Structure 1
Amino acid sequence: MTRVVPTVLGVLLLLVGAVWTLQGANVLPGSFMTGSRFWLVVGLVCVVAGVALLVRAVRQRASR
């Protein structure tokens, strides 16, 4: 169970971060976040954190 949590969190962070990045970059309209640099930066941070969690989870599975 504990091996699944980082993978799920990584995927969620990656997806949410991608949406926020696209909204912040004014690519995905329809929200108060559209065109805001703040949400662009927050989205990019979430994407990087999600990728880092996924890489860590994959490495832990490979070492077992």
Structure 2
Amino acid sequence: MRWVWAGIGVLLVLSGLVWTLQGLDVLGGSVMSGDLTWAVIGPITAVVGLALTWFGLRKRGS
């Protein structure tokens, strides 16, 4: 089950990165391009993804 959390986390990090770049108008070709709302939502999503990835990959204590 931990690998599922890690996988979801990685997907959230990648999505957050793309959303941030689109919000900052670095990546074009989308309705989200140039919309600063996505420049805020993207990093938040990426941080949540990092937390889920860390949770999924950490070793359990014995």
Q: TM-score, normalised by structure 1?
A: 0.86
User: Which structure's relative contact order is higher, taking Cα pairs within 8 Å and 6+ residues apart?
Assistant: 2
Q: State the distance in 2 between where 1:52 and 1:3 align.
A: 12
Q: Percent identity?
A: 46
Provide the residue aligned with 2:9 in structure 1. Answer: 10
Q: CA RMSD of the aligned region, Å?
A: 1.1
Q: Between Structure 1 and Structure 2, which shows a larger proportion of helix residues?
A: 1
Q: For structure 2, which runs of at least 5 residues remain unmatched after alignment?
A: none
Query: Aligned equivalents of 1:43 and 1:17: distance in 2?
Result: 4
Provide the secondary structure at the position in 2 that maps to 1:20. Answer: helix
1:1-64 to 2 correspondence within 5 Å?
2-59=1-58, 62-63=59-60
What stretches of structure 1 of length at least 5 have no aligned partner? none
After the TM superposition, which parts of structure 1 deviate over 2 Å for at least 4 consecutive aligned residues?
Answer: none
Matches of 1:21 and 1:41, distance apart in 2:
7
